[in-house]
Every structure is written in C-alpha cells, then in structure tokens.
C-alpha cells in the first residue's frame, strides 16, 4: 500500500482503544506504520539496488521487531523533548506531565503491531512483499488489492474528517471505518476468486494444459509465491500453462487484469465481472478469447548470459512474470530486454484505450565474445 493509506490507517487506529495507552501512542503508530518503507534509502546506490532490498528484511520478522523498537524509541524521545520544551515555557519541572504518558514498553508493543499491520496490508497487493526475508527471499501475494486503493483512501479519510467535526463520535467513526475497510478487502477477495473461475471461459480454446499435471493451474493457491520452481515445459514440447493470475485494477474491484503464463509467453486480458456476456456463451464474433493480448517470452543463449548478471539476477528475483526479448544487431551485439508483465502497457483496458509505456524494464547488452557491455534498469 502507499504511505498515505498507511498513515491514515495509523491515525484511525489511534482513535481506537489503542490510543488510550497514553501520550506518544499516536506518534508511535504513525512512525511505525511507515517505518518498513525506510528501505527507500537503498536507492542512493541505484534503482537496481533499491529493487533488491525493497520490501525485504524491513518487511520480515526482524523488521517487525527492530523497527518496532526503533519507532517506539523515536516516539519516546520526541515526547520527552516536547515535554521539556513545554515545561521550560511554563517554568515548571520537566517531569510534570500534562496527561498520562504511555510507557516505553507500551510504545514498543503498539509500534510492533503497527509494523505488522503495514506488512499485512502490503501482502494482499499484486506487488507482493517478502514477509519472511531475510530467511526466505521469495515474494508472497494474494492479489486482492492495487497498490493504491481509492476506496480505502476515501473510507479512512472520511472517517478521520468526520471525527474532527464530531469529536464525541470519533471512536464510533473509527470502528465504522475499520469495518468498511474489512468489507472492501472482503469484496475484493470474493471478486478475485470469481475472476479466476472464469479463466477457462475467458481464454477459451487457447487455454493450454498445465505444464505440471500434478498441480493444475485451475487450483490456484490462496497466496501466490515467486520466483517459483517447477516444470515450465511440457513433455510433448508444446506450449503449456505455467500459472494463472487475476491482478487487481485501480478503478473497480470488479475489473481484473487476467494473466496466463505459458512456457512460450503470456496471454493478457482484462475482465469486467459486471459484464453479463462473460457468464453466457458468447457469439463466435464476440468470443472473449479473441481479444487476448499475447506477450512473447523468448530465451536464447544471450538471454541466459544476461540472466547471470547482477541486474539480471535482481530483476528476475523481483519479477513475477518476466518476459524476455533478445535482439542481435549486425555487429553481433545482443540486447536482452526484460519486462514484468504485471506492469506492461499492453494490457487492453475494458472498453478500449491506448497502450501506455511499459514500466520496470531491464536491458543488458552482450558482446559477440559473451562479454557484458552494459546493464540498465529503468522505472
């Protein structure tokens, strides 16, 4: 989730019984709710370094504990500094409290809870998070939520705004906001499951058989994990189905970006669950599978060489659906480009629309002698 949502959620939590722990609680909640994204400092060493560390250890078990303690310490020392300044203005002893202070232990507990909530709010996004790093560097996601959900922003923002107008009702409004927030997650979870059940009808006769017959793609796990291991080719040599995903969109919980990963590439489609035609057999001229966008994934000897570079390893460790294209010029220099299909501009919007530029791309150039000429990562 974006940091505005994390901050609004922290302020909403401060209006629940958690906020009654004493002075300093609100500050601890806000700091801790944003603390895991401190990994942005890695960008000083370049975009690839940031991608390597992003949502890594700061979003894992050590981050929950370490950042919880650090956030509590910041809130504790900040509160003490404010108390000393206020006491100096009044000419009173610095130890004189204006209201009960939260103990350091309470601030630690509240901060750890806020960091944990940050991680749990990142987990349902299609971007995913590495909840077990540094012990396990794989990514995990449930694919329910977009990175920015305007509905969450509206719910949390409205609850806080109305709470300022009616301070007597702020606790009830906070509870209502959290209830509506849970309902938003619930609606998206149900819609996500429905989108996956419509995959055979959406992709029609073009839907290939699973590469691994023992784990058919129709049985999609609740939590997706990548990079994945397992068969990516079929015994017959024909294109086979590696994975299926329904990715959330920003506009509506009923619109999903559908991705089928084949051993030879990807097929993309956008699905509107409110379109009645998808639930009934379509006319041949309106078959949904005819509107699929195909995205190739071509691996050549130069592609494998590029995958061994630092930039290649970082990108392939991050990308859930990496698609490679390799071009060789007249001088024999091979340019390998990767894009994560989650962020391509080729996805056809429901109702039409143009193509937007691809995001998060990587390029590696390999010379005729196999030497790496340069590596580039762009956002």
pLDDT tens profile 102-136:
999 999 999 999 999 999 999 999 999 999 999 99
Do 242 and 165 belong to one domain? Answer: no
The whole-angstrom separation of Cα 374 and Cα 310 is 11
Indicate if 182 and 324 belong to the same structural domain. no
In the numeric block, the tokens 């209006």 are attached to 15
d(CA 270, CA 356): 15
> Whose structure tokens read 């909640």?
29
- pTM tops 0.75, yes or no: yes
* Alpha helices (H) in the chain, listed in sequence order: 3-13, 25-34, 47-53, 61-90, 104-122, 150-165, 170-197, 199-203, 301-307, 310-318
Q: How many domains is the chain partitioned into structurally?
A: 2
Shared domain check, 301 and 216 = yes
Domain ranges, residue 358: 201-378
Residues 205, 167, single domain; the answer is no
Please say whether the dihedral angle defined by the alpha carbons of residues 68, 74, 75 and 80, taken in this order, is positive or negative. Answer: positive
Return left, alpha or beta for 22; rule: phi > 0 is left, psi -120 to 50 is alpha, else beta: left
213 plus 357 within the same structural domain: yes
Please indicate, yes or no, whether residues 159 and 273 belong to a single structural domain of this protein: no
Count CB atoms within 10 A of the CB of residue 82. 14
Q: What is the pLDDT of residues 326-374, one digit of tens each?
A: 999 999 999 999 999 998 864 444 444 444 556 678 899 999 988 999 9
Predicted local distance difference test score (pLDDT) of residue 350 = 40
Omega of the bond leading into 105 within 30 degrees of 0 (cis): no
In the three-class reduction of DSSP (H, G, I as helix; E, B as strand; rest coil), residue 37 is classed as helix
Summarize pLDDT for 172-185 with one digit per residue, the tens: 999 999 999 999 99
Residues 6+ apart with CB under 8 A from 305: 366, 370, 372
Domain boundary among the residues 134, 157, 192 is at 192
Distances (CA, A) of 110 to 18, 25, 120, 122: 8, 7, 15, 19
Cα 73 from Cα 89, distance rounded (Å): 24
Average pLDDT over residues 8-32: 93
If asked whether residues 294 and 247 sit together in one domain, one would say yes
């Amino acid at each position: 989730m974006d940091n505005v949502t994390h901050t609004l959620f922290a302020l909403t939590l401060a209006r629940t019984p958690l906020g009654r722990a004493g002075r300093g609680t609100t500050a601890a909640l806000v700091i801790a709710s944003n603390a895991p994204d401190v990994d942005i400092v890695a960008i000083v060493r370049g975009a690839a370094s940031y991608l390597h560390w992003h949502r890594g250890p700061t979003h894992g078990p050590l981050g929950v504990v370490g950042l919880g303690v650090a956030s509590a310490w910041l809130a504790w020392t900040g509160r003490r500094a404010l108390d000393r300044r206020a006491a100096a203005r009044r000419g009173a002893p610095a130890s004189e409290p204006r209201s009960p202070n939260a103990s350091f232990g309470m601030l630690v507990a509240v901060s750890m809870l806020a960091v944990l909530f940050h991680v749990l709010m990142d987990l349902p996004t299609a971007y995913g998070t590495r909840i077990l790093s540094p012990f396990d560097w794989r990514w995990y996601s449930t694919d329910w939520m977009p990175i920015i959900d305007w509905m969450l922003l509206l719910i949390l923002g409205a609850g806080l705004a109305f709470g300022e107008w009616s301070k007597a009702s702020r606790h009830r409004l906070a509870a209502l906001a959290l209830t509506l927030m849970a309902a938003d997650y619930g609606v998206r979870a149900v819609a996500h499951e429905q989108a996956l059940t419509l995959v055979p009808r959406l992709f029609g006769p073009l839907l290939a058989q699973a590469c691994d017959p023992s784990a058919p793609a129709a049985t999609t796990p609740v939590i997706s994990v990548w990079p994945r291991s397992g068969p990516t080719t079929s015994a017959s040599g024909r294109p086979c189905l590696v994975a299926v995903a329904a990715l959330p969109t920003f506009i509506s919980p009923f619109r999903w970006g559908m991705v089928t990963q084949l051993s030879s590439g990807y097929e993309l489609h956008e699905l509107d669950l409110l379109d009645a035609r998808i639930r009934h057999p379509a006319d041949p001229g309106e078959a949904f599978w005819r509107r699929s966008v195909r995205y190739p994934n071509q691996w050549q000897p130069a592609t494998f060489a590029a995958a061994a570079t630092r930039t290649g390893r970082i990108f392939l460790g991050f990308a859930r659906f990496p698609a490679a294209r390799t071009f060789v010029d007249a001088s024999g220099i091979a340019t390998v480009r990767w894009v994560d299909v989650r962020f391509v501009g080729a996805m056809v919007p429901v109702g039409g629309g143009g193509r937007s530029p691809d995001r998060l791309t990587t390029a590696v150039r390999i010379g005729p002698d196999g030497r790496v000429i340069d590596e580039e990562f762009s956002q």
